[in-house]
Amino acid sequence: MKRFYLLIIVILALSIPLITFTTYIEVEPVASNRSELLTIPEFEFDTEAVEEPVNHWPIILWSVYGLGLLMFSLRFIIHLIQIFKRIKQNTKQRTAQFTFILLKELMTPHTFFSYIFLNKEKYESQQIPQEVFIHEEAHARQKHSLDILFMELLQILFWFNPLIYFVKHSIKLNHEFLADEAVLKDGFSPSNYQELLLTFSSNVTNTQLAHAINYSSIKKRFTVMKTHTSKQKIWLSCILILPLLGLTLYGFSERRIIEKPASLSIDLPVPMQEKNSKPDPDKDYYYQNTTIEYVDNQKNVIATKKYTELTEEEKQQLPSPPKKPAKKTPLQSELESWLDSKKFGVWVDSKRIKNSDLASYKPSDFGLYYVSKLEKNAVNYGKHYFQVSLYTNQEYDRLYKDGQKPLSEGAIIKITKTASIESFPVLEVSFNPDVFKLNGKGTSLSRLKRDFTEAANNEKSDLRIKTVGGINMSLINQIMEELDGNLKQIRLDEDAYIIGDTTANEHQEKATPEEIDAYNTWAKKIHGESTIISKNATLLPIVDEQELIKFSEIYKRMSPQQKDQSVKFPFPNLNMNEKEQNYGKVNTPYAIEQNQQKATPEEVKEYNKLASQHNDKPENLRIIKLKDFERMEYLYKKMSKEQKANAEPFPNFPPPPPPPPAPKSPLDHVIEMAKKNAKFYYEGKLISSDDAIKLLKENKQLNIATKESDSKEPKVYISKEPIVFKQHAKTKEQVMINGKSSKDGFFSFTGPELSDIELSIAAGTITEFKFKVPGKPTLFIKGNRLNDDAKSQIKETAIGSGAQLFDIKNSKDEVHPPIFVEIK
């Protein structure tokens, strides 16, 4: 959850400033009559440009930004090239999900998408523990590289923002937490895993685009491993973030107030024109951007239409467009009063000008002007209180060259409907699922009578049914029964037609010979393209919906004798009396199996459960019982194409793995250990490597056991009896340093202080331990103080790094928890 939280806050930080909350306010123009109101043109308020001295700072800042952008882009490209070169130039080992890149140089394991980079020598000698594989595979499986690439690209764009580096560091650190969690969930011991992390951590440089086991954040990672956050705490944290998100959204988003002309209300008590009037091009031009709202006497909106959706009769109810406005020239005294900038805002030819600029104009320069009073919620209210819009003679001639201009985009005209305009309720019907809307509002058959009565103002009315395709006659009859007493007649939309039994069908003759011939041709084609899957199942081809409707209607009108002499209907399970939406269900191939066309939801659920168990595993780890495989295969074949598309993909199962290579013989193992300068013990006594080889050649039944095979001096034990190594007991007691203890095992010392530490416990003494600093070999130390080699390593270790003491044993041969020391 934290991974997506970090990514979301980055996205929100980028998107919130781009959000704009727009508030529209209506500005009521000052006009003496409706004609004058309609002639107000659209205003574009542009302030006059004022010459300013050249500011060089933007040029300097943009140049610095461009330089940083170039540097970070080059850095990103170089890192990508380095990764692709390693992939191309080194040996690869591929598995089902991952590709291991085996590097010749010594580098810490790291991951880039599905590529896991490992040291070739350690990989081939099997010196890389399983925990490391699980850790890196978690990075690859969870696609952490996508997050890193996203942040790298943001860093290129916003390199100057310090917060981007903190967020990037947090995201990479969280990736490590998730990978650590994957290891611990697999059942590995936290303390052993912590020791392993320190063993593999180093100061070796890795590419910034890959995930590597690194040392710098190991203290936090150890702390997180010991921390268990409850789900309640996680959800509480998420809830507490919501108010902060709201404040951020409010504080950093943009708010814009836009003025729009007030809507125009017109009362039409009677039709203004007779029906079937000819179209009026001038009216079509003038009202082309207008929305018409029909309201009742209580100003409730009955219906809303765009002008282009009106019938010719409805268009004739609108007033004719106003004529070209007469010229209106201001007086000299008016021009002088408008010089007051505290009271008036002045626009000339739709451009804002300084009030003092009016002094250069004469009244005869203007052909039209308007003065409007600002409302208190207007944007410029307070700066001035009246808006003066003047149009020069040239602009007036340009604007009104062809007569009145159209009303502005978004203009609304409200008409009070008290006349006989065609306004009966409209019922929109859609299927699959069934949805009913009366005048745009949701309804149902049970509520239809009440809603219809309200829409028709408690009077009898026609009902217009609007749908696409066929509507069953039984549904129409049901609507008529519901509206009995309130309904005059039903009118079907031009795109709709009736299917099923109608009054006309009751007296219709049998299907004609031509219709039967066409049906037989179609049915033979369907049968010919069908595939028999089993005794009770047939796979049908894709069927054209309109053809299915057409020929099923013909088949229904056939007499029993005609049906006996015709080709069998291809869809035996299709209920011929169901509504038309059922036809759509055969528009894809499916299997008809007695009373079932496809797998049931329970069977699909059973298949998904079986398939997901194997799809979640790497292909080379998929193992399945034969009966489970056969059951899954049966369910998958039974599913329709649509079900398969929405279900789990059928798992790919690999062939049985080849037998493992034969283990090395005891003799070969002894020879190999001899090359590593191992010490050999026979029945507890030290012997030479030559003697050990001789013993194995003479007696191949001897038992062999090896300890510390990866160290500088492995130990090989040979015996006639089975060899059992004593397991060291573990204790939870924390070791003290210089007499001081730490609950979590973390300490902080300077380099000289660390060199002089002494380990102790409450009862007993520390006899040995291992010491590790980044980039240096692990040291095995006898006693309870650091030796000279360890002190030398500390001097070469940078401040801010850390050291680990682990495998700490006491005089009772018990192993204590590890200790982490930060070098300050």
- Helix-, strand-, coil-residue percentages of the chain, each rounded to 5: 40, 20, 40
Cβ 774 vs Cβ 797: under 8 Å: yes
What amino acid occupies position 64?
Answer: V
pLDDT of residue 74: 93
What amino acid occupies position 430?
Answer: S
pLDDT of residue 501: 44
The strand ranges marked E within 397-536 are: 412-417, 426-430, 435-438, 441-443, 461-466, 469-472, 487-492, 496-499, 531-534
320-354 residue pLDDT tens:
776 777 788 999 989 999 999 889 999 898 888 99
For residue 631, the SS3 value is helix
Both structure tokens of 555: 């088949």
CA 211 to chain centre: 24
- 750 vs 148, 199, 736, 754, CA distance in Å? 34, 22, 17, 6
Residue 18, strand partner residues: none
Phi, psi of 243 (to 5 degrees): -60, -40
Below-50 pLDDT ranges, the chain: 27-52, 203-205, 259, 261-276, 418-422, 501-508, 575-596
Q: Residue 776 and residue 799: Cα distance in Å, rounded?
A: 15
Q: Residue 240 and residue 489: Cα distance in Å, rounded?
A: 58
Q: Which long-range contacts (CB under 8 A, 24 or more apart) does 201-207 make?
A: 201/108, 201/774, 202/108, 202/774, 202/775, 203/774, 203/775, 203/798, 203/801, 204/106, 204/107, 204/108, 204/775, 206/107, 206/108, 206/110, 207/79, 207/82, 207/83, 207/110, 207/112
204-249 residue pLDDT tens:
445 555 555 555 566 677 777 766 666 676 677 667 777 777 777 7
CA nearest to 193, candidates 170, 162, 220, 225: 225
pLDDT of residue 275: 43
Q: Residue 474 and residue 578: Cα distance in Å, rounded?
A: 10
Q: Residue 558 and residue 523: Cα distance in Å, rounded?
A: 14
Cβ 582 vs Cβ 618: under 8 Å: no
Both structure tokens of 24: 């529209």
Cβ 678 vs Cβ 686: under 8 Å: no
What is the value of pTM for the model shown? 0.37
Cβ 802 vs Cβ 789: under 8 Å: no
pLDDT of residue 69: 92
Phi, psi of 573 (to 5 degrees): -95, 0
Output the CA torsion 31→36→37→41 (10° steps).
Answer: -120
For residue 122, the SS3 value is helix
Both structure tokens of 790: 């360890």
**What is the biggest distance separating any 2 CA atoms in the chain, rounded to whole angstroms?**
130
What amino acid occupies position 601?
Answer: P
- The dihedral through the CA atoms of 376, 382, 385, 390 has a sign that is negative
